[in-house]
Structure 1
């Protein structure tokens, strides 16, 4: 049977399909929207000010929410696309805007940053989850280590365990010398007792007040912090109010988020 011009093209196409089938896409340490997260057993604990907190059993995102995960929400029309281009960043300067991961090529697995509280809440709601409260986040991060402890124990933060700043004052010292955030889950030695990653460094994380009032704060510090004191990591900081119809704006290169779900109805 004589060969035709279409046969080489057909063979090339079949070869491409074989190669595609053999290719294994890069796995993200961030779970997809169908996964509930890692289980963290709840507790009752007393904070440094003597106040008792009750934390329920929670499913917690293993890492901070990634750019790729947030883009999935935007494509599904569950999240507003008006985020992450640096225009909403509270600050100025080329360095700052270049570290807005959503609009920076090649950072799909970096934590989603440069977004306002509303965007974070919107994403978690799309996933059937919510932002953690301050006391929930503190328990997740401390896991019984005490006010001076870190997710991994009592060793001081270093670039072996967290994405923090080196002991210098130049911009390139941020992020353990990269000048930016890193892909989530890059420091497995910094995992908590329950296997939760990135609770210290990379980006700080939005939390809500425990009392149900419309107030928020940030925990965990970020890639620009040189030395994270244990009490600064988890001890309640000042809360800021937000209005019922708060805008989709604000944000910082230093702030991201993760979601939690109640383990029991």
Structure 2
């Protein structure tokens, strides 16, 4: 606001009693008792300085004008600013309300950024509070609109009257089946007994492991087991089989890529069996032992939300948008649908607004390559893709040699469309804990398709099968050749990296 601090100080001192100043602090979510000074004037001065430091001075003017409109016009010789109060929206199950004490702001901002990278909308004070909106109004709005309430549970949170109040309201909404309450166990604390009735997500020892647990809870699936040494998975599948002594080693097997916030999984160097002893014509390679250097691969295919972040940052136009169509699987055949592209994968009547965590589709190989160049990552080679999918023991599928079942993968038109990335984890994971390498969507690789037969046009290899595929297509060795300029609502991609890559 344009008024200088001295004018504001005089206004507060002349027009607010001590009790009214306490109410003003309450509206601004500022602890009156923690402001330095004993007199009303000293408290008012510290309030102004506090708002300046927090870059929240724009919050003050509309509230002063609403509380004291006559005095505001008299002393500042203008009408008070009109608060910009957003309209109430329906409850959004893709929005989380993130409650935290001021002392825990650094952790809260980190988890908020990672959730936003996964396509979640985050309501978080003070960022989500509009200028002139009181904190009570804003918090009520956030609680009414959010589908999940995440509590950063620490000693500071337990001691905060605001956090306790918010949390008790959220628990009431949970009992009405209007909101899900998830405590995040960040540091040892003694929460009220009612809070302990809810299963928390552990963040104390390993942030990445906690984030995986949280995303699994939000997406309604079990968290993946964490690989013990990058070559196999042991345990019950709930992620709790890892001891404290394993934490530092396991942390090095998974990391979050800075720009995209995509989780990458380490695949160690070494030999593995590539191909099969009984290849299916050109769709499989003859088995041989191959050595690969260490590489990292995304734990899931790139999602709509992650691709949207790239498009927003670069104003990129996809191949489908340029040509005006994509190929869509409808009624057991391919149809060229006008207006089908990554935001509307089945045409103009479709949209991905409620599918932020689904794999992006209707992207050409060139679109996938453009995303990788922006991210500083790359597409995996087909040999890397196959090792990530089957490990070193020559298994047929990521989970082993058992035939595909619908509890492990999305295939065979059940349910007949893509599903959120990681939905079949951990049952369908590879030995390294990588998800969705069988079914859901085919995935572009960087490799050109080498064929025994001459081809009129070079093609790229896609791997993994998709939601309409037959079980054979889900084999870790199965490959298709696709024109790199084509787009399908069954084809997406995932990223990979070497330690020396520019974006790693």
TM class by shorter-chain length?
0.7 to 0.9
Q: After TM superposition, list the pairs within 5 Å mapping 1:191-206 onto structure 2.
A: 191-206=429-444
Q: Could you say what secondary structure the match of 1:221 adopts? A: coil
Q: After TM superposition, list the pairs within 5 Å mapping 1:25-44 onto structure 2.
A: 27=215, 33-35=260-262, 37-44=264-271
Structure 1 Cα separation of the partners of residues 341 and 409 of structure 2: 19
State the partner residue of 1:227. 471
Gaps of 5+ in 1: 166-173, 243-248
Say if 2:139 is the partner of 1:18.
yes
Q: 1:11 to 1:127 in 2, by over 3 A?
A: closer
State the partner residue of 1:151. 398
Structure 1 Cα separation of the partners of residues 434 and 488 of structure 2: 23
State the partner residue of 2:418. 181
Say if 2:475 is the partner of 1:237.
no
**TM value normalised by structure 2:** 0.42
Say if 2:364 is the partner of 1:116.
yes
Aligned length, in residue pairs: 245
Q: 1:155 to 1:118 in 2, by over 3 A?
A: same
After TM superposition, give the deviation of residue 199 of structure 1 in Å.
Answer: 0.4
Q: 1:202 to 1:237 in 2, by over 3 A?
A: closer
Q: 1:215 to 1:101 in 2, by over 3 A?
A: closer
Structure 2 Cα separation of the partners of residues 211 and 181 of structure 1: 25
State the partner residue of 2:343. 102
RCO (CA 8 Å, sep 6+): is it higher in 1 or 2?
A: 1
State the partner residue of 2:487. 251
Say if 2:374 is the partner of 1:132.
no
State the partner residue of 2:312. 75
After TM superposition, give the deviation of residue 163 of structure 1 in Å.
Answer: 1.0
Structure 1 Cα separation of the partners of residues 271 and 448 of structure 2: 14
Say if 2:496 is the partner of 1:260.
yes
Q: Could you say what secondary structure the match of 1:256 adopts? A: strand
1:191-242 deviation line (CA, Å, top 9, x unaligned): 1111100000100111132799x7511110000024246xx62335354576
Q: Could you say what secondary structure the match of 1:153 adopts? A: coil
Structure 2 Cα separation of the partners of residues 16 and 101 of structure 1: 37
Higher helix fraction (1 or 2): 2
- Bigger-Rg structure (1/2): 2
State the partner residue of 2:66. 6
Higher strand fraction (1 or 2): 2
Q: After TM superposition, list the pairs within 5 Å mapping 1:75-94 onto structure 2.
A: 75-77=312-314, 79-81=316-318, 83=320, 87-91=324-328
Gaps of 5+ in 2: 1-15, 21-63, 69-82, 84-130, 151-181, 183-213, 220-255, 277-285, 345-350, 451-457
State the partner residue of 1:170. none
Q: Could you say what secondary structure the match of 1:234 adopts? A: coil
Q: 1:12 to 1:163 in 2, by over 3 A?
A: same
Structure 2 Cα separation of the partners of residues 122 and 57 of structure 1: 24
After TM superposition, give the deviation of residue 65 of structure 1 in Å.
Answer: 0.4
1:161-214 deviation line (CA, Å, top 9, x unaligned): 11112xxxxxxxx2x23x2101111111111111100000100111132799x7
Q: 1:99 to 1:56 in 2, by over 3 A?
A: farther
**TM value normalised by structure 1:** 0.75
CA contact (8 A) 1:59 1:260 kept: yes
After TM superposition, give the deviation of residue 135 of structure 1 in Å.
Answer: 0.8
Q: Could you say what secondary structure the match of 1:37 adopts? A: strand
State the partner residue of 1:169. none
Q: 1:6 to 1:23 in 2, by over 3 A?
A: farther
CA contact (8 A) 2:295 2:496 kept: yes
Structure 2 Cα separation of the partners of residues 200 and 180 of structure 1: 14
1:114-160 deviation line (CA, Å, top 9, x unaligned): 110000111112111111111111111011242x5211112221221
CA contact (8 A) 2:320 2:487 kept: no
